A and B are shown apart, each in its own frame.
Chain A
Amino acid sequence: MTQSLLALSDLHVTFSTRRGPVEAVRGVTLSLGEGEMLGLVGESGSGKSVTGFAITRLLDAAGRITAGNIRFRGQDITKISGGDFRNLHGGAMAMIFQNPRAALNPIRAVGDQIADAITAHKRMSRDEARAEALELLRAVQIRDPEKRMAAYPHELSGGMCQRVMIAMAISCNPALLIADEPTTGLDVTTQKVVMDLLIGIAAERGMATILITHDLGLAARCCRRVVVMEQGRLVEEAEPKTLFHAPQHPYTKRLVAASPTASSRIADLVTEEERGRTIATQVAPRPQPAPGTPPLLEVQKLAKRFDQGAAAVADFSMMISAGESVGLVGESGSGKSTTSRMICRLIDPSEGEIAFEGQSIGHIPARDFHRSPFRKDIQIVFQDPDDSLNPRYTAFDCIAHPLLRLGGMRPGDALRQRVEECAERVGLPVELLTRFPHQLSGGQKARVGIARAIACRPRLLVLDEPTAALDVSVQAVVLQLLDRLRREDGLAFLFVSHDLNVVRMMCDRTIVLQNGRIVEQGESLAMFDNPQTAYTRELVDAVPHIETGLAASAM
């Protein structure tokens, strides 16, 4: 039996925090062979990243390995000195990180940084190192490598910065590469390209890789074996196919169910056990508008130009009927956020008309819209639960805020009743209403944001990436909640997102944006199954589908 390249044995990692010691990794045992690609999957708090940092001895100062050992090529590396470990760094094992631009020295040219990495382990002149750095840039397929040598990180895109990091990491031919969420935060199309590059390089150089990610689909597509972590413990280890078709551990089952795929439906997101707990809902029949009534929202030739003159949005026209859910997808820079803000009347369009139930609201300037009677009809749910709630307001205050300003209510029993009603509808326990945002979990904060948005019974809800910052299992529950609310209240949705699987599930129709212009629009299912334009096809192909991954690994 070949000796494994890396073997973790009952690893325990503890952090000393203000509230006492916190164990982030509780007895993880796993092994990795030469050239093998392993996926390490978990949600926030699972300890997956901490495991990666423990292996490469890059833990925060407050973290310590308190038990177990890590064997690299048979040698216990938890015991060797810092100076000896430095030889391993880069030479035998390397790491690439999330948020690549922040991980590069902002005031040093990238070519020099790669050359630094080379000269750290090989003796050569500065010029020779720079020549080799150029070769590495070519190997990571960066465009115009000669020009990029003198570039600074802030001049490069996220995808290019990640390529530079990969170049630095592989510069001394390590045997092991640990990739900590390398594509999180990058556009979907860039993600695919970077992952393909990584897989290619790993195969070419016989490098073993550990891919740390929260995206089960991604791990399934790329890795031969997948390991699932929950709360610091390793709960399941299997090949992707087995993991998806026959998960053993209840957590894995929940995770697999909650990961949106190309064919999942909203009802599927939550496992059988959980489903039993949801309240049976009354679904209001979709209101059939009388013929001749204007659509709920009509937008004509909307455009927005910022100071520099570049158009963020141009020639945007669309319609939403009462109770309909429309998705707005695009990558970063597509203008989807700007469009949603214009429709919500938080910013003014440069051109174009916006009509709500036939009445023009586009001409009312954004700074006065708060006084318009339409303000309560169009509400918005924000992306980042961490900064969408006023840190000085309790959950109660947040939900009461629109009721006081727009609903004409006064502080008192009626108000309290209404707030509690909203909290109950979104599944937020009433005891949590007195807490401040920093005392609530991500999912709880998301619920408060939704309760606030529906408090005044709006007709149209604009959702700006409402679940992007949430863990997959929490996302599943929140999406089900949103869907239920929509059907109960006959709400119309404008669902802005970059995640095609989610949009396909939640929206009847979808609009695809690129560089501020509409590329394609139509019925969601039909469009994703059979995209008409090249860009839409690119987007659809870029989504890591578990089925295709399984198919590929089976070959």
Chain B
Amino acid sequence: MTGATLRHAGWILRGNPLTGVAAAGVFLLMLVAILGPWIVPYDPIVSNVSQALMPPSAAHIAGTDQLGRDVFSRLIVAARLDLAIAVSAVGISFAIGAVIGAICGYAGGRLDRAVGRFVDVVMAFPLFVLAMAMVAALGNRVENIIIATAIINLPFYIRFARAEVNVRRNVGWVEAARACGDSHISVVLRFLLPNVLPAMSVQMSLNLGWAILNAAGLSFIGLGVKPPTPEWGIMVAEGARFISTGKWWLVAFPGLALMLAVLGFNLLGDGVRDILDPRMRT
């Protein structure tokens, strides 16, 4: 199966160069995140006030911030934190949400309705509002940001899995599986979930982009991550003070990093769907 998958993946990538570029970009991002502190040209934390607020130049590709730190180096190190938050949050909600949603979609009835109510309540809270409430209750720490983001994402996965399973549960081959001796649980976990996975993987990749934006946004307003930790949102927050005096690079470069990361995940999401869908194989 894996040999065929890889060959098929290669075929898809050759047909959609954009997906290939996106995949390469995301891979690069992961690499940067992992290697971060070892590949930076300058120390991201130590201040060097004599070099403060210098525009982009050959020495500092992205300029320096108000404490003289190299913006580019800080960008690289920040990738790690943003990615870690996003991946943890999305991973948690995906795992829990997919299983709950699949069971609800298959079983229906009271369980489905009860979970539906819970989902309605959670969806009534915009992320930032919920995050603020959680930080207020639990403390201003990164873990709470991850929990808040995971909770906010949960409804999407539950609803998604539920809808996909619901559509498929009465289809011929599901009944055939039952006639061939599979129990309900077996049908849900071994047959329905894997068939639902392609669509959900797209959602996951898109979610990762969204989660990065949210993590950045939350630290922009001062929740979770605190200076001097480098993080894209914090860098924008620190740079915001200087925008009205024309120091654009402090905002533009972290913003660009955010945009490229999210763009990569979004484009990759579309490509992943094509790879996992066996109908595309010829």
Contacts and interface: CB of A to CB of B under 8 A. Distances in A.
A346 B177 contact: no
Interface in B171-197: 171-173, 175-184, 191, 194-195
A449 B183 CA distance: 20
A406 B177 CA distance: 11
Contact of B194 (A368, A392, A402): A392
Interface stretch (A280-288, A382-390, A544-552): A382-390
Interface string A462-479: 000000000000000000
Given A392-B195, A438-B278, A387 B173 contact: yes
A370 B182 contact: yes
Nearest to A389: B173
B111 to A, nearest CB: 15
A401 B181 CA distance: 9
Contact of B184 (A341, A367, A392): A367
Consensus secondary structure, chain B interface: helix
A438 to B, nearest CB: 5
Contact of A405 (B181, B184, B281): B181
B279 interface: yes
Interface residues of B, number: 20
Nearest to B281: A436
A194 interface: no
Nearest to A385: B172
Interface string A4-33: 000000000000000000000000000000
Contacts of A389: 172-173, 176
Contact of B176 (A378, A388, A438): A388
Contacts of A368: 183
B192 to A, nearest CB: 10
A391 interface: yes
Contact of B177 (A376, A383, A390, A436): A390
Contact of A452 (B176, B184, B194): B176
Interface in B104-160: none
Interface string A388-410: 11111000000001100110000
Interface string A488-504: 00000000000000000
A402 B278 contact: no
Contacts of A401: 176-177, 180
A243 interface: no
A452 to B, nearest CB: 7
A379 B180 CA distance: 8
Contacts of A370: 178, 181-183
A390 B191 contact: yes
A380 interface: yes
A379 B173 CA distance: 13
Contacts of A390: 173, 176-177, 191, 195
Which of A371, A375, A401 has the most chain B CB within a 10 Å cutoff?
A: A401
B244 interface: no
Nearest to B174: A390
A384 B172 CA distance: 7
B274 to A, nearest CB: 13
Contacts of B281: 436, 439
Contact of B173 (A388, A438, A439): A388
A449 B177 CA distance: 12
Interface string B247-282: 000000000000000000000000000000011011
B187 to A, nearest CB: 9
A368 B179 CA distance: 11
A432 to B, nearest CB: 15
A380 B278 CA distance: 26
A313 interface: no
A390 B281 CA distance: 15
Contacts of B175: 341, 346, 380, 382
A344 interface: yes
Contacts of A375: 179, 181
Nearest to A391: B278
A344 B173 contact: no
Interface in B56-95: none
Contacts of B177: 390, 401
Nearest to A382: B172
B180 A452 contact: yes
Which of A376, A380, A383 has the most chain B CB within a 10 Å cutoff?
A: A380
Contact of B180 (A341, A383, A384, A406): A406
A387 B172 CA distance: 5
B130 to A, nearest CB: 36
Contacts of B279: 391, 438
A368 B172 CA distance: 19
Contacts of A380: 175-176, 179
Contacts of A383: 172
B247 to A, nearest CB: 50
A346 B178 CA distance: 7
Nearest to A400: B180
Contacts of B184: 367
B254 to A, nearest CB: 41
A406 B179 CA distance: 9
Interface in A404-430: 405-406
Given A383-B172, A387-B171, A390-B191, A439 B282 contact: yes
Which of B172, B175, B281 has the most chain A CB within a 10 Å cutoff?
A: B172
A452 B179 CA distance: 10
A460 B244 CA distance: 82
8 contacts: A367-B184, A371-B181, A371-B183, A387-B173, A389-B172, A390-B176, A391-B173, A391-B278
Interface of B: 171-173, 175-184, 191, 194-195, 278-279, 281-282
**A-B pairs with lowest CB-CB distance, top 7:** A388-B172, A405-B181, A402-B180, A382-B172, A406-B181, A390-B173, A387-B172
Interface of A: 341, 344, 346, 367-368, 370-371, 375-376, 378-380, 382-384, 387-392, 401-402, 405-406, 436, 438-439, 449, 452
Given A367-B183, A452-B176, 14 more contacts: A341-B175, A370-B183, A378-B179, A380-B176, A382-B172, A388-B172, A389-B176, A390-B176, A392-B194, A392-B195, A401-B176, A402-B181, A439-B282, A452-B180
